[in-house]
Structure 1
Amino acid sequence: MKFLKNITKLSGCQAAILTNQSAFGYQGKYHFQTYSEIFDLKTIFLPEHGLFAELQDQVSGDELSYLFGSMKIVNLYGKEESSLVPPRETLKGIDVVIIDIKDVGSRYYTFLTTAYYILEELSKLKKETGKAPVFLVIDSPNPIGQKVEGTPLQEVYQSFVGVKTVLHRHGLTPGGLLSYYNETFQLNVDVVVVPIGTIHPKTLSTFEWVPPSPNIPTQNTCFVYPGMCLLEGTNLSEGRGTTKPFETFGSPYLVGKEKIELDKRLSSHQKGNFLLRNLRFLPTFHKHKGIICEGYQLMVLKPKQFHSLYFVLYFLRQLGDLYPSQFEYLKGVYEFRSDRPAIELLTGDSYLLEYLHGKHTDSDIELYLEENETRWSKAIKAYRY
């Protein structure tokens, strides 16, 4: 992993950038605006949700249009899976590809998968031609720190919402994770990491949280997301269409004596690390739009101790037990994959999937998670700084 403290050394280079509104703050501008004063910025690559997080999840950005001088806008989240990879012609004549975009610390979050696909394309270009642009990562802190959760994604479940070998909550910064990809998968691209504080010293301390996507409105959302994202694979609302997505969740069928029993079971899980506030909510869009849902607000009391993934795995297991005829795992296309249901792509581990379907004990899962988290923490030690 190479470090660079002064990007003006690359002044005048022809560049492309993967970015969105989360890269904001220095001099009160979006970073791509300030970089255009340093580089000959030719192209902006758009991630899922668009440049200003205008679009909801799984909505194509093909219709988006921006005008920034002579810069070309290339959408990397279109209607077809092929759109996720940058066209080869967009890399021709480019000296530097800049990655300046915030991550939220979970492998499902697609921005760094888009960056990984760019990295793979640069690797192919280098093998074919002997050279490729420098891959420059403007690094930023992981909003949920170095704590890790989960198990390595097994290759059979790899998709746009999960790169093989990575844990659900990876504990790395963008620079660390992308360097891990480059070295672990032997991509041999010239990856250079620039800590954001060395070039934009006031960015992190001066400005408030800028939502990187529509349903990550606050930093608190990031703490529950490593587990709560699994609800995307179920018929429960994960809170889209509310002001607290992923913190608010539920369904119209969470009623009756089963709900009382569910409350009882959840209250004894990771006791003291979180609080569930019973509530009703009305999603304005997405699942159960316009229908009153019974559910909860998940309030994390001890972020360093609370294990979001284990909480959700346990929660889904209880729903399968208490609501067998109403609770469902969704089928159909999810993030361009139709061969496997979303819950498999998100969980990414056959042992955890077996637990969701009634196999293995809670203590088995706790031990399995702990062993894999310890192993991952040792494997990524070189990519933390």
Structure 2
Amino acid sequence: MKFFKNINKLSGLKATILTNQSAFGFARKYHFQTYAEIFDLKTIFLPEHGLFAELQDQVSGDELKYLFGNMQIINLYGKEESSLVPPRENLTNVDVVIIDIKDVGSRYYTFLTTAYYILSEISRLKKETGKAPIFLVIDSPNPIGRKVEGSPLQKEFESFVGVPSVLHRHGLTPGELLSYYNETFHLKVDVVVVPVGVFHPKSVSSFEWIPPSPNIPTQNTCLVYPGMCLLEGTNLSEGRGTTKPFETFGAPYLLGDAKEELDKRMASHQPGLFYLRNLRFLPTFHKYAGTICEGYQLMVVKPKQFHSLYFTLFFLKQLKELFPNEFEYLKGVYEFRSDRPAIELLAGDTVLLDYLNSNVSDSDLKEYLNQSESRWIKAIKPFRY
């Protein structure tokens, strides 16, 4: 991994940047404003949700309009899957592509997948022409630290919410994960990382948290997201349309004796690490908008030990057993894919899917996750700093 701390030495170079409102704080400015004073900044690439996290999930940014001098604004989350890949002409006429955007520590989160697609396109450009811009990553801390969870995404489940081989909770910074991609997939791009602390502080207090997207309002959201994002593939509300998305969840049908049995089963899972607060909530948009849902708030009391992915897998398995006529996995288009249901793209692993179908025991699942996590920690060791 190459490091570079003084980007002023690159002053005047032609540059393009992938960024959004999460890159803020240095000199109390949005970072792209600072870079515009250093580089000849030509283009801003926008990820999903827009520059200021204006848009909900899976909403095209094609209609967004901004005006920042002569800079070109290019949306990399449009109505078609082809929009995810940056236009070649915006990479051929620049010296450096800057990546300054925060991640939340989970492989589903699309910002670093967008960065990976840019990295891959630069790799193709280099192979075809022998020339390519520097890929400069302004690193930022992982908001949920170094802990890892899950299993590697299998190739057949690759999508915009899953790059092959990466765990559900990867434990890496953006610079480390993108360096991993460059090395593992033999992209041979000149990746340079500006370490944490130069532009982004090494740690951020909860009072300084900037939501990188509309439904990651707090750092606590990041903690539960590696598991709770699976709810996107179900007919449960994952709490969009509430003030605590991914921490608040449920559905109108969670009632009766089956709900009481569900409460009992969840109380015995990962005891002492979390508790569930029973509640009712009314989503203002998204699933069940305007309909009272019965559900929970997930209250994590020991975050260093709590395993969000195992929690959600266990919860979904119980739902399928206790509410066989009401609980469903969603079908249809999800992040531009229609050939597989969302739960398969999110779980990304046949063993986990077999567990959800009651074909793998709890003990076997825990052993499988432990082994997968141990292998991942070894694989990523060269990329951590």
Q: Same fold (TM over 0.5)?
A: yes
Residue in 1 that maps onto 2:161: 161
Residue in 2 that maps onto 1:325: 325
CA-based RMSD of the aligned residues comes to 1.2
Residue in 2 that maps onto 1:286: 286
The 1:64/1:264 distance shift into structure 2, 3 A limit, reads same
Q: TM-score, normalising length from structure 1?
A: 0.99
**Distance between the aligned counterparts of 1:342 and 1:44, measured in 2?**
30
Residue in 1 that maps onto 2:382: 382
1:352-378 Cα deviation digits (max 9, x unpaired): 101101111111100000000000000
Residue in 2 that maps onto 1:9: 9
**Distance between the aligned counterparts of 1:202 and 1:146, measured in 2?**
13
**Distance between the aligned counterparts of 2:13 and 2:203, measured in 1?**
24
Residue in 2 that maps onto 1:68: 68
Residue in 1 that maps onto 2:216: 216
Amino acid at match of 1:55: L
Secondary structure of 1:103 counterpart: coil
**Distance between the aligned counterparts of 2:205 and 2:319, measured in 1?**
42
**Distance between the aligned counterparts of 1:229 and 1:207, measured in 2?**
24
**Distance between the aligned counterparts of 1:25 and 1:201, measured in 2?**
9
Long gaps (5+) in structure 2: none
Would you say how many aligned residue pairs link Structure 1 and Structure 2?
Answer: 385
Secondary structure of 1:296 counterpart: strand
Shift of residue 196, structure 1, vs aligned partner: 3.7
1:229-253 Cα deviation digits (max 9, x unpaired): 0000000000000000000000000
Residue in 1 that maps onto 2:25: 25
Residue in 2 that maps onto 1:77: 77
Residue in 2 that maps onto 1:191: 191
1:176-222 Cα deviation digits (max 9, x unpaired): 00000000000000000002412466995797000000000000000
The 1:203/1:23 distance shift into structure 2, 3 A limit, reads farther
Amino acid at match of 2:264: K
Secondary structure of 2:33 counterpart: helix
Residue in 2 that maps onto 1:301: 301
The 1:325/1:174 distance shift into structure 2, 3 A limit, reads same
**Distance between the aligned counterparts of 1:334 and 1:175, measured in 2?**
27
Matched, 1:277 2:290: no
Structure 1 runs (4+) greater than 3 angstroms displaced: 199-207
1:126-151 Cα deviation digits (max 9, x unpaired): 00000100000000000000000000
After superposition, residues 81-230 of structure 1 pair within 5 angstroms as 81-199=81-199, 204=204, 208-230=208-230
Q: Is the 8 A contact 1:26 1:203 kept in 2?
A: no
The 1:365/1:121 distance shift into structure 2, 3 A limit, reads same
| Higher mean C-alpha displacement, 10-19 vs 193-202 | 193-202
Amino acid at match of 1:70: N
The 1:205/1:259 distance shift into structure 2, 3 A limit, reads closer
Amino acid at match of 2:305: Q
Shift of residue 92, structure 1, vs aligned partner: 2.1
1:16-51 Cα deviation digits (max 9, x unpaired): 000000000111110000010000000000000000
Residue in 2 that maps onto 1:47: 47
After superposition, residues 335-350 of structure 1 pair within 5 angstroms as 335-350=335-350
Q: Is the 8 A contact 1:25 1:206 kept in 2?
A: no
Amino acid at match of 1:41: L
Shift of residue 76, structure 1, vs aligned partner: 0.1
